[in-house]
């Protein structure tokens, strides 16, 4: 546990000692804020629906940017070999780096709270629905982070890791949008595989164990295969 915590602190520190964290948070807030305020003034209603809706799309773009260098850059620069000589396991490396990425996501979501405060000040806000929507974003983002870590473990190129993560996260976001043209049997399977399908259920306040199992499975499988990929590095 101490090794995981040490890697977590090191990775989180590296985010904030470089422009990465500030760029990611600023881009997320500016883009989501633009659509939030644009819809707010046009619609004339105090609502966070625009923010949450567009956040789903931007997470698919920002998560690959956060995770692309977690392992790929370590391998490219040769620092991973140095890290692997220390008394840490591949699983500890993967988990520590993953938790740092999730922590950055949490910081970005916390900085978006002024949107909710603004809505609450200008009109009635459903606190329960807002809380579950934020929970849904955190679960969705955490699942995407695991995918990003996995893709970063498969290559030494940050660009390749970014593209692979982007393709997979977009696929998970869009897979449940094609159900109308598919047979019902296949449609039900693809619906369950859709990350946004589970987000929408959580955001409505339906905290179902199937949704929690889905996101937990996405995280565990992503981290497991990332650790296995590192074990085959030699």
What is the residue extent of each domain of the chain?
2-231
Rounded (to 5) percent helix, strand, coil in the chain: 85, 0, 15
Residue 42 has pLDDT above 70, yes or no: no
Q: How confident is the model at residue 73 (pLDDT cuts 50, 70, 90)?
A: confident
Cα separation values, 220 from 144, 150, 192, Å: 12, 11, 17
Burial class (CB in 10 A: 0-12, 13-18, 19+), 209: exposed
Contact 231, 90 (CB under 8 A): yes
pTM above 0.75, yes or no: yes
Rounded to 5 degrees, φ, ψ at 89 are: -95, 165
d(CA 171, CA 188): 16
Query: Average pLDDT of 55-66?
Result: 87
Query: Average pLDDT of 219-229?
Result: 93
What is the structure's pLDDT at 137?
A: 92
What is the structure's pLDDT at 185?
A: 64
d(CA 27, CA 35): 12
* pLDDT per residue as tens digits for the range 76-118: 776 766 666 677 788 888 999 999 999 999 999 999 888 888 7
Radius of gyration of the chain (CA): 19
Q: How confident is the model at residue 223 (pLDDT cuts 50, 70, 90)?
A: very high
Contact 147, 165 (CB under 8 A): yes
**If you average pLDDT over every residue of the chain, what do you get?**
83
Contact 68, 157 (CB under 8 A): no
What is the structure's pLDDT at 99?
A: 95
Residue 196 has pLDDT above 70, yes or no: yes
What is the structure's pLDDT at 143?
A: 95
Cα separation values, 51 from 35, 109, 130, Å: 7, 11, 11
Query: Average pLDDT of 139-153?
Result: 94
Q: How confident is the model at residue 194 (pLDDT cuts 50, 70, 90)?
A: confident
Angle at 191 between CA 187 and CA 192, to 5 degrees: 125
């Amino acid at each position: 546990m101490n090794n995981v915590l040490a890697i977590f602190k090191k990775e989180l520190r590296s985010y904030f000692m470089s422009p990465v964290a500030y760029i990611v948070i600023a881009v997320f807030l500016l883009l989501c804020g633009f659509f939030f305020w644009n819809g707010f003034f046009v619609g004339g209603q105090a609502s966070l629906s625009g923010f949450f809706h567009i956040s789903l799309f931007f997470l698919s773009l920002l998560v690959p940017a956060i995770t692309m260098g977690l392992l790929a850059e370590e391998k490219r620069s040769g620092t991973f070999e140095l890290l692997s000589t220390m008394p840490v396991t591949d699983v500890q490396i993967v988990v520590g780096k993953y938790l740092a990425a999730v922590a950055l996501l949490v910081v970005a979501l916390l900085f978006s709270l002024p949107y909710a405060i603004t809505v609450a000040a200008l009109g009635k806000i459903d606190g329960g629905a807002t809380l579950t929507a934020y929970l849904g974003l955190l679960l969705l983002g955490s699942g995407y982070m695991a995918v990003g870590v996995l893709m970063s473990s498969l290559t030494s190129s940050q660009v390749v890791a970014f593209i692979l993560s982007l393709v997979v996260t977009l696929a998970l976001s869009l897979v449940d949008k094609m159900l109308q043209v598919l047979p019902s049997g296949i449609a039900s399977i693809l619906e369950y595989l859709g990350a946004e399908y589970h987000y929408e259920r959580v955001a409505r306040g339906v905290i179902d164990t199937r949704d929690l199992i889905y996101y937990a499975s996405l995280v565990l499988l992503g981290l497991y295969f990332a650790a296995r990929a590192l074990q085959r590095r030699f």
